[in-house]
A and B are shown apart, each in its own frame.
Chain A
């Protein structure tokens, strides 16, 4: 492993770091959020028994997803908001990875891969826009 760390700006190392931090941060957010949610009684009055969980899973109650709810929840240290934040970070990590790799390829003056990676990004945004509309 150590001989790989000789070039700190190597694309592989940079991307690996981005992924590692993204994964552990979101894991931490989800973990802390789940504990908070238990404590705050989001899992039900009985304090998170199996029955409570089944009720939660089957209830197709509206999933909060507005930015305002998320921000408000985070300010009030709501467990569920921390979970959502962690999940969002997990989703964002691959996208951040694509962005970072464009930059690192550019620094390495690898023009072909700057074009290829940017094409991936453009296609992803297109897919997202189409999917969001449909």
Chain B
């Protein structure tokens, strides 16, 4: 349930909580733990998603646009996974996450908004700009999307990484959408949350057909995560954007440590 709450707030899958909790605390076989965690990603995505979509916090067009890149990246990632060794990749990814955490920390300390290139032909043509009603600030927040080609490329890279390492690309997409593309943090997490559900559905089906989804393990996880996601969905609208940044930063640092540990051990 905690996984669903956190996942729905920061726009990531609950995998970084569910897998360790199941394997370490309950001694579940790792294959079943991963199967259950992919179910939990979908549960987070759909469970919180319908509120975010309705409240226009999720940017549907942006999600679809970036999803093309992510899905293509995941395909290439799985294709080359057999060719390259995994160990140093985890270390590399840990380093990328550390850098991302650092740049988010710096951006959080700066008061003034970073000057963004105002012209983005792709974003204009694809109508990516949006607005949503922020309950914590009690006003309509309008935003413009900048540097959409950069976002597209990073989403591709995030897809490759998730295909290679079997982890969600959300930790990469959220900071890029927030920092480079100038999108409000709530829109970033909600949109990322929306996208991971689509990607996870594919892997979940594959896991299911391999028999790695144990119903009696996945069922309580799914129910707990769904409830957590509902609570998270109610919270997101009310929390201040700054608080969400801090929660995300915490998750980012924990994932970075996990990646380093996986690479070194």
B244 at the interface (CB under 8 A from A): no
* Residues of the A chain whose Cβ atoms lie less than 8 Å from the Cβ of B217: 57
B215 neighbours in A (Cβ, 8 Å): 33, 63, 80, 83-84, 87
A46 at interface, CB cutoff 8 A = no
**Interface size of A by Cβ–Cβ distance < 8 Å?**
60
Question: Considering the chains assembled together, what is the distance between the CA atoms of A60 and B214 in angstroms?
Answer: 9
Pairwise interchain contact B216-A117, C-beta atoms closer than 8 A: no
CB B191 to nearest CB in A, in angstroms, measures 12
Binds A, one of B52-60, B108-116, B141-149, B174-182: B52-60
Report how many residues on chain B are interfacial, defined by Cβ distance under 8 Å: 57
Contact B60 A93 (CB under 8 A): no
Known: A87-B218, A123-B72, A127-B75. A93 touches B46 (CB 8 A): yes
- Report whether A92 and B201 are in contact in the complex, using a CB–CB cutoff of 8 Å: yes
Q: A123 contacts which chain B residues (CB < 8 A)?
A: 68, 71-72, 75
User: Is A130 in contact with B78, judged by CB distance below 8 angstroms?
Assistant: yes
Which secondary structure dominates where chain B touches chain A?
helix
The answer to whether B214 touches A128 (Cβ under 8 A) is no
Shortest Cβ distance from residue A119 to the other chain B in the assembled complex, whole angstroms: 5
Report B34-63 CB contacts with A as 1/0, cut-off 8 Å.
Answer: 000001001101110111011110101100
| Cβ A93 vs Cβ B42 within 8 A | yes
Measured in the bound complex, the distance between the Cα atoms of B220 and A33 in whole Å is: 11
Which residues of A, 40-92, contact B by the 8 Å Cβ criterion?
42-43, 53-54, 56-58, 60, 62-63, 65, 80, 83-84, 86-88, 90-92
Contact residues in A for B3 (Cβ distance below 8 Å)? none
Contact flag A127-B202 (CB < 8 Å), given A62-B211, A65-B209, A87-B219: yes
Within 8 A of B (CB), among A91-133: 91-95, 97-98, 101, 112-113, 116-117, 119-120, 123-124, 126-128, 130-132
Q: Which residues of B contact A91 (CB under 8 A)?
A: 39, 42, 201, 204-205, 208
Within the assembled complex, what's the spacing in Å between the Cα atoms of A56 and B202? 27
- CA distance in complex: A103, B206 (Å): 26
Q: Which residues of B line the A interface, CB within 8 A?
A: 26-29, 32, 39, 42-43, 45-47, 49-51, 53-56, 58, 60-61, 64-65, 67-68, 71-72, 74-75, 78-79, 125-126, 197-198, 200-206, 208-209, 211-220, 222-223, 226
Q: Which residues of A contact B (CB under 8 A)?
A: 1, 4, 11-13, 15-17, 19-20, 22-23, 26-27, 30-31, 33-34, 37, 42-43, 53-54, 56-58, 60, 62-63, 65, 80, 83-84, 86-88, 90-95, 97-98, 101, 112-113, 116-117, 119-120, 123-124, 126-128, 130-132, 134
